[in-house]
């Protein structure tokens, strides 16, 4: 049997390793002051920090995360709904998948909601964030790591713990509400004010607050987990004088691939092994957000101020004395090419039963993104509720719900043909993984051992993805640039409506979400 299929089957059968444990976390969602780059603002924060507290579990555990919504500042959204991105859901728990108006209604201030996540056989680097509007730009995002005690690549590294997680983020001084109003008026996405490496960054004219430091010991091999919790920009990561060996992409172990620079799209996760094999010294970790230039210019944003320090134990406690660069360029750059990634356990994708040709487009002069000609709008009644109430066909959904329905156990190919539209759209499929048959950047079509991911870029080069519908559920498929998503670049892929009705048994707490949300005054939604 194919490992991917057996993995899903094990998850479906709830076969947990002997070590399976129940892990419970509580997070208070609060409005609190925060200044990751030295500029004070009020954020929407899990337990008052940015990023929110690190959540960890082992393969096989069941994790329960209770969010107490204590938001009060109505200049930002005060309801919320949390997505655990990169965590595979089995059908039974799909109602705890966190997608507002697809799998649940958001929950309002002064209420709590507990997400139950049976992890099954999966492991890898994931994260959590508000999935409501652009709320996660205000800070509600954090890292979630599922460790595998039997990692097949364990022999390649010595250290993999809380100290080796690298979060990459963009940060705005204005609230997302203010930024969205500006975007809506101008079609120009307000450029971030700073890029944060492990929650620390600088902006032009701001204080020189100390960059985050990663201490290493000479001769030791580290597994660094790079997690892009950005809303907008991709980040190019490199370490002066060091190479990186990629061993994981989006929760899937890969065959080791050495590079010296890699681009991390929002939503994407990589693990890289770095050997501390250089002279005892301090080296820049360059985490450079792509600078789009005009018209998005922001005078306080300098991509070169987004960085950390790789500090060898024994070196002076100081910043590197070398220039702040953007890492290897031109002929010196050995940039990770997505199509070169090989899963550690390759699975040939089945031949497609359905081929869907899609486009992305933005009408001139409107802040609207069209998914195959249609702007996604959240319905009032979540997709899952409609299905539980009997919806089974496309005609049961409004056209603006961009809902596509498939029978069980089929293979669907999503085909973004080459087209002139060349914005970066990192498309993500919730709760599932897909095969990247063709990467935007390459003409190679790989149906033998293609990368397995849950986020992949659509540009103008053409991108082909395949997924199987063996897990009944309504799965959000959207651009992870939340500005584009907000403006309509989303769809819902529904696998097996009848299977959903048979297997999904939501809790009473879930049943109460929509009546409670619909009763809230608009400012509290």
| Distance of alpha carbon 320 from alpha carbon 166, whole angstroms | 19
Exposure string over 232-258, b if 16+ CB within 10 A, otherwise e: bbbbbbbbbebbbbbbbbbbbbbeebe
Q: Looking at 130, 282, 403, 440, which residue binds ligand NAG (CB under 6 A)?
A: 440
* DSSP structural state of residue 520: S
Choose which of 126, 153, 165, 237 interacts with ligand NAG (CB under 6 A). Answer: 237
Smallest Cα–Cα separation from 285: which of 156, 162, 172, 195? 195
* Closest to ligand NAG by CB, 151 or 440: 440
Q: Which residues contact 314 (CB under 8 A, 6 or more apart)?
A: 218, 280
Residue 241 makes contact with ligand NAG by CB under 6 A: yes
In this chain, which stretch among 30-38, 153-161, 171-179, 344-352 interacts with ligand NAG, using CB under 6 A? 171-179
Q: Is 408 in the site for ligand NAG (CB under 6 A)?
A: yes
Would strands 252-259 and 244-249 be described as parallel, antiparallel, or unpaired?
antiparallel
3-state class of 239 per DSSP?
A: strand
According to DSSP, the residues that pair with 127 across neighbouring strands are: 85, 143
Does 398 help bind ligand NAG (rule: CB under 6 A)?
A: yes
Q: How far apart are CA 222 and CA 520, in angstroms?
A: 48
Return d(Cα 163, Cα 214) in angstroms, integer: 8
Interface map 126-165 toward ligand NAG (x if CB under 6 A):
----------------------------------------
Residue with smaller CB distance to ligand NAG, 179 or 245: 179
Strand partners, 245: 258, 273
Bridge partners (DSSP) of residue 436 are: 465
Of positions 75, 182, 215, 507, contacts ligand NAG by CB under 6 A:
182
Which span (32-40, 201-209, 311-319, 409-417) binds ligand NAG, by CB under 6 A? 409-417
Which of 6, 10, 28, 503 touches ligand NAG by CB under 6 A? 28
Q: In the block, which residue shows the tokens 């009644």?
A: 381
**Binding flag, residue 10, ligand NAG (CB under 6 A):** no
Told to check if 250 binds ligand NAG by CB under 6 A, we report no
Position 281 contacts ligand NAG (CB under 6 A): yes
Query: Distance between CA 144 and CA 162 in Å, rounded?
Result: 11
Whether 402 and 491 have beta carbons less than 8 Å apart is answered as yes
Sheet holding 55-58, edge to edge: 55-58, 141-147, 124-130, 82-85
Q: Which of 66, 116, 278, 449 touches ligand NAG (CB under 6 A)? A: 278
**At which residue do the structure tokens 């950005």 appear?**
230
Question: How many CA within 13 A on the CB side of residue 22?
Answer: 4
Quick one: CA dihedral 90, 93, 97, 101, positive or negative?
positive
290 touching ligand NAG, by CB under 6 A: yes
Pick from 10, 35, 213, 356 the residue near ligand NAG by CB under 6 A. Answer: 356
Rule CB under 6 A: is residue 424 a binding residue for ligand NAG? Answer: yes
Place of tokens 């089995």: 90
C-beta closer to ligand NAG: residue 220 or 525:
525
Q: Does the footprint of ligand NAG cover residue 117 (CB under 6 A)? A: no
The answer to whether the Cα torsion of 312, 252, 201, 326 is positive or negative is positive
| Interface with ligand NAG, residue 265, by CB under 6 A | yes
Binding residue (CB under 6 A) for ligand NAG from 43, 206, 289, 352? 289
When binding is defined by CB under 6 A, the residue of 13, 21, 181, 444 that contacts ligand NAG is: 181
Neighbours of 14 (CB within 10 A): 12
Q: Which stretch binds ligand NAG (CB under 6 A): 16-24, 114-122, 427-435, 453-461?
A: 453-461
Member of 20, 441, 503, 512 binding ligand NAG (CB under 6 A): 441
Binders in 467-486 for ligand NAG, by CB under 6 A = 470
Out of 17, 53, 256, 350, name the contact with ligand NAG by CB under 6 A.
53
Q: Which residues contribute to the site for ligand NAG (CB under 6 A)?
A: 25-28, 47, 53, 109-110, 168, 174, 178-179, 181-182, 184, 190, 228, 230, 232-235, 237, 241, 263-266, 278-279, 281, 287, 289-290, 356-358, 372-373, 377, 398, 400, 408-409, 415, 417, 422, 424, 426, 440-441, 457, 459-461, 470, 524
């Amino acid at each position: 049997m194919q490992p991917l299929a057996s993995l899903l089957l094990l998850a479906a059968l709830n076969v947990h390793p002997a070590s399976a444990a129940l892990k419970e976390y509580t997070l208070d969602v609060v409005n609190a002051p925060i200044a990751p780059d030295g500029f004070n603002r009020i954020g929407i924060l899990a337990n008052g920090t940015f990023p929110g507290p690190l959540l960890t579990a082992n393969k096989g555990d069941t994790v329960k995360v209770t969010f107490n919504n204590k938001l009060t500042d109505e200049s930002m959204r005060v309801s919320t709904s949390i997505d655990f991105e990169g965590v595979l859901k089995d059908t039974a728990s799909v109602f705890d998948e966190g997608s507002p108006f697809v799998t649940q209604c958001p929950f309002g201030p002064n209420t709590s909601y507990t997400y139950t996540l049976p992890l099954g056989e999966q492991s890898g680097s994931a994260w959590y964030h508000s999935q409501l509007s652009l709320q996660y730009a205000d800070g509600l995002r954090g890292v979630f790591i599922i460790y595998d005690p039997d990692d097949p690549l364990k022999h390649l590294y010595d250290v993999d713990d809380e100290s080796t997680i690298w979060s990459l983020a963009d940060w705005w001084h204005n609230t997302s509400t203010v930024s969205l109003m500006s975007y809506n008026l101008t079609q120009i996405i307000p450029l971030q004010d700073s890029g944060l490496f492990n929650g620390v960054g600088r902006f032009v004219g701001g204080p020189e607050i100390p960059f985050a430091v990663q201490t290493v010991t000479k001769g030791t091999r580290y597994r660094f987990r790079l997690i892009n919790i950005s809303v907008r920009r991709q980040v190019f990561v490199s370490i002066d004088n060091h190479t990186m060996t990629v061993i994981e992409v989006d929760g899937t172990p890969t065959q080791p691939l050495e590079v010296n620079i890699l681009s991390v799209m929002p939503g994407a996760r990589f693990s890289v092994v770095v050997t501390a094999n250089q002279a005892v010294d301090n080296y820049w970790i360059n985490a450079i957000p792509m600078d789009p230039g005009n018209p998005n210019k922001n005078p306080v944003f300098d991509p070169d101020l987004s960085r950390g320090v790789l500090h060898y134990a024994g070196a002076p406690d100081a910043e590197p004395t070398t220039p702040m660069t953007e890492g290897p360029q031109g002929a010196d750059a050995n940039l990770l090419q997505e199509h070169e990634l090989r899963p550690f356990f390759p699975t040939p994708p089945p031949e497609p039963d359905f081929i869907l040709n899609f486009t992305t487009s933005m009408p001139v002069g409107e802040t609207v993104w069209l998914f195959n000609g249609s702007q996604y709008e959240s319905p009032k009644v979540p997709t899952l509720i409609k299905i539980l109430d009997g919806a089974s066909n496309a005609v049961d959904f409004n056209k603006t719900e961009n809902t596509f329905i498939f029978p069980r156990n089929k293979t669907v190919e999503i085909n973004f043909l080459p087209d002139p539209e060349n914005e970066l759209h990192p498309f993500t499929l919730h709760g599932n993984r897909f095969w990247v048959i063709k990467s935007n950047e390459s003409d190679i079509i790989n149906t033998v051992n293609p990368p397995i991911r849950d986020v992949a870029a659509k540009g103008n080069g053409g991108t082909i993805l395949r997924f199987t519908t063996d897990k009944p559920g309504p799965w959000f498929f959207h651009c992870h640039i939340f500005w584009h998503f907000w403006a309509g670049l989303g769809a819902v892929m529904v696998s097996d409506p009848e299977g959903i009705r048979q297997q999904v048994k939501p809790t009473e707490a879930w049943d109460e979400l929509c009546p409670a949300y619909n009763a809230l005054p608009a400012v509290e939604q």
